[in-house]
Amino acid sequence: MAIAKITVSGPFGSGKTTLIKHVSDEQFSGKDVPTTGVLAQFKSMTTVGLDFGILNVDDDLDVHLFGTPGQSRFNFMWKILSKGALGGILLVDTASDRALVEAQDMIKIWKEIPDFPLVIGATKQDLPEAISLDALAETLASEETPMFTVDARKREDNRMLVMALLQEILLAEQGASEMDEMDVLDL
């Protein structure tokens, strides 16, 4: 049985647990405990330890989805969990200054990993205080990284992010070029 690994990361409260739930056949949530300290005003419960989900692809392949803890004190785990992964999904609450700062740290770590494709899901874009996708791309120094607005509560948005990551891997491995010798997209 082969195992592929996908890492889901994002600052505290960005929707990692829900994404893994929406994509997995089996989900094993890390221990949810009451949030304490300054973060308690944002979310009543949070995950300590790992979120983990399994998607059974076929008889020979499972996907393990790891949700890395959002709090920055766990940042030593982000790189460890990303080793050997197909790629990563970064969820960012675009209406939170704190989340944006944490996301900057996370993406820096991922960018240090060679051959590590990633996609970014920008959440809470409907809120008036949300920054634009342009501003997010600039903040994360990720102007060429695929980025989608997502509603983290929506199953189809979460699944699309995972599928987008997989398609990016396929296109990159295929060496897809915009214009091949026989330009089949000529009008």
Cβ-proximal residues to 19 (8 Å cutoff; 6+ apart), any chain: 8, 67, 89, 91, 121, 152, 158, 161, 162
From 18, 71, 104, 149, residue interacting with another protein (rule: CB under 8 A): 149
* Closer to another protein by Cβ: residue 45 or 176: 176
Phi and psi of 51, rounded to 5°? -90, 140
* Closer to another protein by Cβ: residue 48 or 171: 171
* Only segment of 7-15, 41-49, 50-58, 74-82 that touches another protein (CB under 8 A): 50-58
- Contact flag: residue 109 with another protein (CB under 8 A): no
- Contact flag: residue 127 with another protein (CB under 8 A): no
From 13, 125, 127, 128, residue interacting with another protein (rule: CB under 8 A): 125
- Selection from 64, 89, 122 nearest residue 9 by Cα: 89
- Contact flag: residue 128 with another protein (CB under 8 A): no
- Contact flag: residue 162 with another protein (CB under 8 A): yes
From 1, 38, 80, 179, residue interacting with another protein (rule: CB under 8 A): 179
Per DSSP, the residues of 127-181 read STTPPPHHHHHHHTT-TTS-EEEE-TT-HHHHHHHHHHHHHHHHHHHHT--SS-S
- Contact flag: residue 143 with another protein (CB under 8 A): yes
- Selection from 73, 74, 110, 76 nearest residue 90 by Cα: 110
Strands 45-48 and 31-34: antiparallel
For another protein, the binding residues (CB under 8 A) are 2, 4, 23, 55-58, 61, 63, 86, 119, 125, 132-134, 136-137, 143-149, 156, 159-160, 162-164, 166-171, 173-176, 178-180, 183-187
